[in-house]
Amino acid sequence: MDITSPKAEAYIGKYTSEEDSLLKEIAEYTEANHPKAHMLSGRLQGKFLEMVSFMIRPERILEIGTFTGYSALCLAKGLQPNGVLHTIELRESDAATAKGFFQRSFFKDNIILHIGDALKVIGELDEMFDLVFIDADKTNYMNYFNLVLPKVRQNGFIFADNVLFHGQVLTEEIKGKNAKAIQAFNDFVLSCNDVEKVMLPLRDGLLLMRKL
**pLDDT (tens digit per residue) in 112-128:** 999 999 999 999 999 99
Task: Look at residue 1 in the predicted model and tell me its pLDDT.
Answer: 61
Q: What is the rounded average pLDDT of the residues 94-98?
A: 98
Residue 1 lies in a domain: no
**pLDDT digits 0-9 by tens, 166-204:** 999 999 899 999 999 999 999 999 999 999 999 999 989
Establish if 128 belongs to a structural domain. yes
| Residue burial 4-33, b: 16+ Cβ < 10 Å; e: rest | eeeeeeeeeeeeeeebbebbeebbebbeee
When pLDDT is averaged across residues 11-23 and rounded to a whole number, the result is: 96
pLDDT of amino acid 32: 97
CB contact at 8 A, 71 and 89:
no
In a domain, 149, yes or no: yes
Q: How many domains does the chain have?
A: 1
The pLDDT score that the predictor gives to residue 102 is 98
Assign residue 59 the CATH number of its domain. 3.40.50.150
* Domain assignment present for 133: yes
| Bridge partners for 157 per DSSP | 131, 210
Amino acid 18: pLDDT? 97
Amino acid sitting at position 135: D
Query: What domain range includes position 152?
Result: 6-211
pLDDT score for 2: 65
**CB 108 within 8 Å of CB 87:** no
- What average pLDDT does the structure give for the chain? 96
pLDDT digits (tens, 9 = 90+) for 29-61: 999 999 999 999 999 999 999 999 999 999 999
81 assigned to some structural domain: yes
pLDDT of residue 40: 94
Q: Is residue 37 part of a domain?
A: yes
Domain membership flag for residue 98: yes
The pTM for the full model equals 0.95
> Which of the four pLDDT bands, split at 50, 70 and 90, describes residue 3?
confident
